[in-house]
Amino acid sequence: MKVLMVCLGNICRSPLAEGILKKHLEKRGLDWTVDSAGIGAWHAGDLPHHSSRQVAKAHGVDISEQRGRQVRRSDFTEFDHILAMDSENLADLQRLAPEPGQQAKIQLILSHLEGESLRDVSDPYGRTLEHFEAVFQLLDRACQAFLEKQGGASVSVHP
């Protein structure tokens, strides 16, 4: 399974989503490909935002090896699931997708969280550490819900 997390800048939300999903996959012994990208190119090559790194580290998730990059055309063929952080990212991805058949793989990450009234993971850029922590908590629940939906709740039995 290949999953791409997408937000606007690829420095605050999607790097956290990538790191959190990888942590849960590792716990379950699952070997998936997880990456993240931004709609914009402003932060290509940059480290994740220091507040994202700080909250991730506090929860045992290391995202310091990640670097920002922009969404590219090949992402739409390479990845099985493209998870948008908010409705604006979703609309941009739907517009960028080269083939109509690729629309089905583009979803809001919170659409996987049953009973959640929020549609969007709001952008913490320029806000306090508490906002980044709230984003972490929401993404942690959403990543686990997504994983369980994919049948990834059990540990892999492959040798």
* Residues assigned a catalytic role: 7, 13, 123
Minimum distance, C-beta of residue 115 to ligand 4NP, in the bound complex (Å): 24
Cβ proximity to ligand 4NP: between 101 and 126 the closer is 126
Interacting residue ranges for ligand 4NP, rule: CB under 6 A: 7-13, 42, 123, 125
Angle (nearest 5°) at CA 142 between 120 and 138: 65
Structure tokens at 54: 């700080």
DSSP string, 33-83: EEEEEESS-TTTTPPPPHHHHHHHHHTT---TT----B--TTHHHH-SEEE
Burial code of 118-139, b = ≥16 C-beta within 10 A, e = fewer?
eebbebbbeeeeebbbbbbebb
Q: Which is nearer to ligand 4NP, 30 or 132 (CB)?
A: 132
Please give the distance of CA 136 from its chain centroid, rounded to a whole number.
11
Q: Which residue's beta carbon is nearest to the bound ligand 4NP?
A: 9
> In the bound complex, what is the minimum distance in angstroms from residue 125's beta carbon to ligand 4NP?
4
Q: Which is nearer to ligand 4NP, 9 or 152 (CB)?
A: 9
Cβ 103 to ligand 4NP shortest distance, Å: 21
CB of 89 to ligand 4NP, least distance (A): 8
Q: Which is nearer to ligand 4NP, 32 or 125 (CB)?
A: 125
